[in-house]
């Protein structure tokens, strides 16, 4: 029950009028940028990192909690009203949700997405509060070799399992690792890859990298391919649901949550697979199979809940192990570092109040999202009509402002441009962004952990393979890399099964149309 006490203390911290104001700002900002095309939650947190430098850590995290859930919800609004999913995890929402909107049921689609997100977020956060502390208590007992193995596992999982092309994932990862080298070597004190610039001896500021890759890279990429035709937004009133909608929605919400959370908590789970699984399940179980493909409410409720629950799930490895597994978590982790908080399994021991405040603010942010967004939906729909030149000029403006504010030196702006161009290149050639960010964050920590583990083991490599957890993780890692190969040899990889199912869907839909 100790955790419950901490949670109550967290609520006490988070529920001051000033902090509640930060939560409102966070939710509004998060939803606004989530709705705006081209900006995701990761980019929002990255852009706001410099702003929060001079705010207290708890206030900053409360705001991030609002942004985290707000951004997620904003994305689904865009999918439903515009049929243009911003992230792969809201592709499924766009399929049924936009059909519903076209059939004049936009209000119900938005409502089931909002309430489903709330339900999934509340359950997911509760599961996070229940699971993260024991996992971190277990992780604290692990030695450096085990921790090293777990970090390597996360690195490989994110690169090899997510994304379509393993080669391109690896390219992105190793570019990130190379960026992570920059700075002073922690054991011998020598500058590495700093171009002789003393400003780089602490490494390249991760805020600058994140803002450059997410914001500048995206703005440049959009500039190259801006759609010249105006967006076709479906107007919407206040979201509401009838009795029948509730009856058809509540089970998909719960099933979606059950899919989403475990996938999010796994290092390579992601949000795409659970949303897809949820969609298939709802289609199988529904009594209204004929509506699927033409706007079935279950097809919005389930995947939306799965998406949000998976987002809550990604916070489990982030808070209990210090491992980021999606872009937003990665950027939030850099916020910890900028406050001098060392992410890792000792977080719950060293900063319990801060962490529980964050968890409490997730509950608060999630609730505020529901309260604020149902009445504000028509406003968000208007936001979708922002003239694109202003939107992307604004992104460039705030990216520059953010990078300049970190150290107030033009060198950071030059780095912003260089990494912005790198981000542009990655988007053009289909290199995934996430492995790069994870590589920048985890690379230096893996090197440090490896060399510290070896120091403790007297320089003996065998000492790395003596802990049972480490060995288990290495076996899992090998399995992760080998199983897809074996499956491919058997011509029945999971991926092809999904694609086949998907193709059939598309064909059926094409036939109906």
Partner 1 sequence: MTTTEEPQQNPVARTVDKAQYIVCAVLVAVGAFVIYDALSLEAGFAKVDPVGPKFFPIAIGGILIVLAIVLAIAIPRGSVGEADAGEDVDPNTPGDWRTVGLLVGLFVSVILLVNPLGWAITGTLLFAGAATILGSRYYIRNLVIGAVLAVASFYAFYSGLGIPLPAGILDGIL
Which residues ranging from 386 to 445 are in contact with partner 1 (CB under 8 A)? 387-390, 392-394, 396-397, 400-401, 404-405, 408, 410, 413-414, 417, 420-422, 424-425, 427-431, 443
Q: Which is nearer to partner 1, 301 or 415 (CB)?
A: 415
Q: Map residues 307-336 to x or -, x wherever contact with partner 1 holds by CB under 8 A.
A: ------------------------------
**Of the candidate residues 5, 104, 192, 240, the single one contacting partner 1 (CB under 8 A):** 192
Tokens (6 digits) for 394? 């604004």
Please name which of 211, 197, 445 lies closest in space to residue 337, comparing C-alpha atoms: 445
Q: Which is nearer to partner 1, 401 or 485 (CB)?
A: 401
Cβ–Cβ under 8 Å, residues 70 and 34? yes
Cβ–Cβ under 8 Å, residues 218 and 423? yes
Query: 469: which residues sit within 8 A by CB, 6+ positions away?
Result: 142, 146, 149, 150
Q: Counting contacts by CB under 8 A, is residue 294 touching partner 1? A: no
Looking at residues 484 to 503 of the shown chain, list those that interact with partner 1 (rule: CB under 8 A): 498-499, 502
Query: 119: which residues sit within 8 A by CB, 6+ positions away?
Result: 250, 253, 254, 257, 305
**Of the candidate residues 219, 265, 309, 329, the single one contacting partner 1 (CB under 8 A):** 219
Q: Which is nearer to partner 1, 218 or 291 (CB)?
A: 218
Q: From the CB of 461, what's the least distance to partner 1, in Å?
A: 7
Looking at residues 442 to 461 of the shown chain, list those that interact with partner 1 (rule: CB under 8 A): 443, 447, 450-451, 454-455, 458-459, 461
Q: Counting contacts by CB under 8 A, is residue 175 touching partner 1? A: yes
Q: Counting contacts by CB under 8 A, is residue 130 touching partner 1? A: no
Using only C-alpha atoms, the chain has a radius of gyration, in whole angstroms, of 22
Q: Counting contacts by CB under 8 A, is residue 368 touching partner 1? A: no
Tokens (6 digits) for 481? 């890399």
Q: From the CB of 104, what's the least distance to partner 1, in Å?
A: 23
Options 154-162, 239-247, 359-367, 382-390: segment touching partner 1 (CB under 8 A)? 382-390
DSSP helix/strand/coil, 344 = coil
Q: From the CB of 283, what's the least distance to partner 1, in Å?
A: 13
Q: From the CB of 204, what's the least distance to partner 1, in Å?
A: 13
Q: Which is nearer to partner 1, 344 or 420 (CB)?
A: 420
Q: Counting contacts by CB under 8 A, is residue 43 touching partner 1? A: no
Total residues contacting partner 1 by CB under 8 A comes to 87
Pairwise CA distance, residues 99 & 300, whole Å: 10
Tokens (6 digits) for 267? 């290092």
Q: From the CB of 128, what's the least distance to partner 1, in Å?
A: 28
Alpha helices, DSSP H, located in 384-493: 388-407, 410-428, 434-456, 468-489
Ramachandran assignment for 387, one of left (phi > 0), alpha (psi -120 to 50 degrees), beta (any other): beta
Q: Which is nearer to partner 1, 195 or 491 (CB)?
A: 195
Looking at residues 243 to 282 of the shown chain, list those that interact with partner 1 (rule: CB under 8 A): 272
DSSP helix/strand/coil, 422 = helix
Options 214-222, 327-335, 367-375, 466-474: segment touching partner 1 (CB under 8 A)? 214-222
Ramachandran assignment for 485, one of left (phi > 0), alpha (psi -120 to 50 degrees), beta (any other): alpha
DSSP helix/strand/coil, 56 = coil
Q: Which is nearer to partner 1, 133 or 299 (CB)?
A: 299
Q: Counting contacts by CB under 8 A, is residue 183 touching partner 1? A: no
Cβ–Cβ under 8 Å, residues 132 and 348? yes
- Rounded to the nearest 5 degrees, what angle is found at the Cα of 64, between the Cα atoms of 253 and 42? 80
Looking at residues 92 to 121 of the shown chain, list those that interact with partner 1 (rule: CB under 8 A): 92, 95
Q: From the CB of 459, what's the least distance to partner 1, in Å?
A: 4
Q: Which is nearer to partner 1, 126 or 425 (CB)?
A: 425
**Of the candidate residues 140, 223, 258, 469, the single one contacting partner 1 (CB under 8 A):** 223
Tokens (6 digits) for 381? 């729909």
Q: Counting contacts by CB under 8 A, is residue 481 touching partner 1? A: no
- Residue 61 to residues 66, 74, 109, 411, Cα–Cα distance (Å): 9, 19, 30, 28
Q: From the CB of 454, what's the least distance to partner 1, in Å?
A: 6
State the residue for tokens 């899919």. 259
In the beta sheet, which residues pair with residue 184?
Answer: 191
Please report, to the nearest 10 degrees, the dihedral formed by the alpha carbons of residues 386, 293, 513, 74 taken in order: 0
Q: Counting contacts by CB under 8 A, is residue 18 touching partner 1? A: no
**Of the candidate residues 2, 17, 141, 188, the single one contacting partner 1 (CB under 8 A):** 188
Q: From the CB of 447, what's the least distance to partner 1, in Å?
A: 5
Q: Counting contacts by CB under 8 A, is residue 15 touching partner 1? A: no
Cβ–Cβ under 8 Å, residues 378 and 237? yes
Looking at residues 64 to 93 of the shown chain, list those that interact with partner 1 (rule: CB under 8 A): 78, 82, 84, 86, 88, 91-92
Q: From the CB of 188, what's the least distance to partner 1, in Å?
A: 4
Q: From the CB of 78, what's the least distance to partner 1, in Å?
A: 6
Helices 2-14, 57-82: crossing angle, 10 deg rounding: 80
**Of the candidate residues 12, 53, 238, 349, the single one contacting partner 1 (CB under 8 A):** 53
Sign of CA dihedral 71, 75, 78, 81: negative
Q: Counting contacts by CB under 8 A, is residue 482 touching partner 1? A: no
Q: From the CB of 332, what's the least distance to partner 1, in Å?
A: 20
Please report, to the nearest 10 degrees, the dihedral formed by the alpha carbons of residues 28, 32, 35, 38 taken in order: -130
């Amino acid at each position: 029950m100790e955790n419950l006490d901490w949670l109550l203390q967290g609520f006490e911290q988070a529920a001051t009028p000033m902090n509640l104001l930060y939560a409102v700002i966070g939710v509004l900002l998060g939803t606004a940028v989530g709705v705006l095309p081209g900006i995701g939650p990761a980019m929002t947190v990255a852009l706001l990192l410099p702003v929060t430098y001079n705010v207290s850590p708890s206030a900053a995290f409360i705001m991030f909690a609002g942004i985290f859930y707000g951004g997620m919800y904003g994305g689904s609004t865009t999918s439903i009203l515009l049929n243009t999913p911003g992230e792969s995890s809201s592709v499924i929402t766009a399929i049924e949700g936009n059909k519903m909107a076209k059939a004049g049921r936009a209000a119900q689609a938005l409502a089931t997405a909002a309430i489903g997100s709330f339900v999934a977020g509340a359950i997911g956060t509760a599961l996070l509060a229940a699971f993260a502390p024991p996992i971190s208590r277990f992780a604290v007992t692990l030695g450096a070799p085990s921790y090293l193995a777990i970090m390597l596992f996360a690195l490989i999982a994110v690169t090899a399992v997510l994304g379509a092309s393993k080669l391109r994932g690896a390219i992105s990862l190793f570019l990130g690792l190379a960026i992570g080298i920059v700075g002073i070597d922690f054991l011998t004190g020598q500058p590495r890859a700093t171009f002789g610039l003393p400003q780089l001896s602490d490494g390249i500021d991760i805020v600058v990298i994140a803002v450059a890759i997410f914001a500048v890279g995206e703005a440049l990429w959009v500039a190259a391919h801006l759609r010249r035709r105006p967006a076709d937004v479906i107007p919407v009133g206040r979201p509401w649901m009838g009795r029948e909608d509730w009856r058809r929605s509540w089970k998909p919400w719960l099933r979606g949550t059950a899919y989403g959370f475990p996938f999010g908590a796994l290092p390579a789970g992601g949000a795409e697979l659970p949303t897809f699984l949820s969609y298939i399940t709802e289609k199988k179980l529904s009594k209204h199979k004929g509506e699927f493909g033409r706007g079935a409410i279950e097809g919005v409720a389930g995947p939306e809940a799965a998406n949000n629950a998976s987002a809550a799930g990604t916070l489990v490895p982030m808070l209990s192990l210090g491992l980021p597994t999606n872009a937003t978590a990665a950027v939030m982790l850099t916020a910890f570092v900028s406050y001098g908080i060392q992410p890792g399994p000792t977080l719950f021991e060293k900063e319990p109040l801060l962490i529980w405040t964050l968890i409490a603010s997730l509950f608060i942010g999630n609730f505020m999202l529901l309260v604020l967004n149902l009445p504000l939906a028509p406003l968000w729909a208007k936001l979708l009509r922002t003239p694109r030149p202003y939107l992307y000029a604004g992104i460039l403006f705030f990216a520059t402002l953010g990078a300049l504010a970190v150290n107030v030196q033009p060198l950071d702006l030059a780095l912003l441009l260089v990494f912005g161009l790198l981000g542009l290149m990655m988007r053009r050639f289909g290199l995934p962004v996430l492995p790069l960010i994870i590589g920048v964050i985890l690379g230096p920590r893996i090197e440090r952990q490896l060399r510290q583990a070896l120091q403790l083991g007297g320089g003996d490599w065998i000492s790395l393979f003596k802990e049972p957890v480490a060995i288990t993780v290495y076996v899992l890692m090998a399995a992760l890399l080998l199983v897809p190969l074996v499956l491919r040899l058997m011509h029945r990889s999971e991926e092809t099964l999904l694609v086949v199912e998907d193709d059939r869907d598309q064909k059926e839909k094409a036939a109906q149309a």
